[in-house]
Amino acid sequence: MTGAAGGLGQAMRTRLQANCDILRLSDLNPLDPAQAVEEVVQADLSDMAAVQHMVAGCQAIVHFGGISVEQPWAPIVQANIIGVYNLYEAARVHGVKRVVFASSNHVMGFYRQNEVVDAKSPPRPDGLYGLSKAFGEDISRLYFDRYGIETACVRIGSSYPEPRDRRMLATWLSFDDLHRLITACLTTPVLGHSIIYGTSDNSVSWYDNHLAKHIGFRPQDSSDVFREAVYARTDEPDLTDPAVQFQGGGFVKIGPL
Ligand code: NAI
Ligand code: 15L
């Protein structure tokens, strides 16, 4: 698992131990020492030699590492463009068969909040970060078509302990559902190259996963239990605000573009 020092990496660290004999954890930043059944390999994704060392001997990769929000182009290129290329090259060289790629809802951020998208909807990234995730999805497609490396591109919504605002009532993914989703991606007999939206079973949703039924993901949590509290602590939305009109929320209007 790359990105092991990050928010989702920390949330999945103990959960993913149940999925493997040895869980190798990696990040640019230092990690807590390896526990039983763990290995720790510090690596910068933009360093090919370090990534080759990190990947050697792995059966599967859960790729959380990289820039996770809108930022200037230079760091995005290093981590999310060069980094994901290095990862797939290392996967090819070392015979890794399956990757779970943490893509993002921001690949589709310029769809409106009254539209429903599925795996065949054309990407409409909402910034450089979303664009870099679209590149990650495309390179994973290339490495499947050429080399047969299976990838689940998981367009994660908003994965936090609780939804933080009204938008996240549609995009929220609980940590337990994220673990269920990763498990489904790692264990389904035939994954191929697949795109799946990563959200819990929220009543309001902009995502249709009917093209990902072969993965067998059944979310068991829902943002609905937080709805009343979120409405009570947040203001009425300004319907003229692009952050309220588009699925990407505030991401559609931040950054250097
Ligand atoms: P995070 O920012 O907390 O963690 C990302 C980790 O990647 C950090 O620990 C960071 O040190 C590491 N990293 C950054 N650049 C690196 C490099 N060059 N080499 C090696 N490691 C590097 O992000 P979070 O929230 O844990 O998200 C994990 C993944 O899931 C990210 O790829 C993010 O884009 C994606 N995602 C997360 C969502 C969420 O709601 N948390 C929503 C959609 C996508
Ligand atoms: C993401 O892709 C980000 O990594 C995360 O920090 C959240 O902002 C999330 O999307 C979201 O859209 O809420």
- CB count in 10 Å sphere of residue 84: 26
Looking at the structure of the chain, the number of domains it has is 1
Residue 49 has pLDDT above 60, yes or no: yes
Ligand 1 centroid–CA 79 distance in Å is 10
Q: Give the pLDDT confidence of 218-256 residue by residue, as tens digits.
A: 999 999 999 999 999 999 999 999 999 999 999 999 876
| Residue 104 CB less than 6 A away from ligand 2 | yes
Question: What pLDDT digit, counting tens, does each position of 5-22 carry?
Answer: 999 999 999 999 999 999
Which CATH number goes with the domain that contains 62?
A: 3.40.50.720
Q: Which domain holds residue 39?
A: 7-253
Considering the entire predicted model, what is its pTM?
0.98
Q: d(Cα 159, Cα 179) in Å, to the nearest integer?
A: 11
Please report where in the chains the tokens 């399956």 appear, as a residue: 98
Percent of the chain with pLDDT over 70: 99
pLDDT digits (tens, 9 = 90+) for 61-72: 999 999 999 999
Question: Which residue, by CA, sits nearest to atom 9 of ligand 2?
Answer: 158
Residue 2 within a domain: no
Cβ contact 100:47 at 8 Å:
no
157 found inside a domain: yes
Residue 1 lies in a domain: no
Residue 136 has a pLDDT of 99
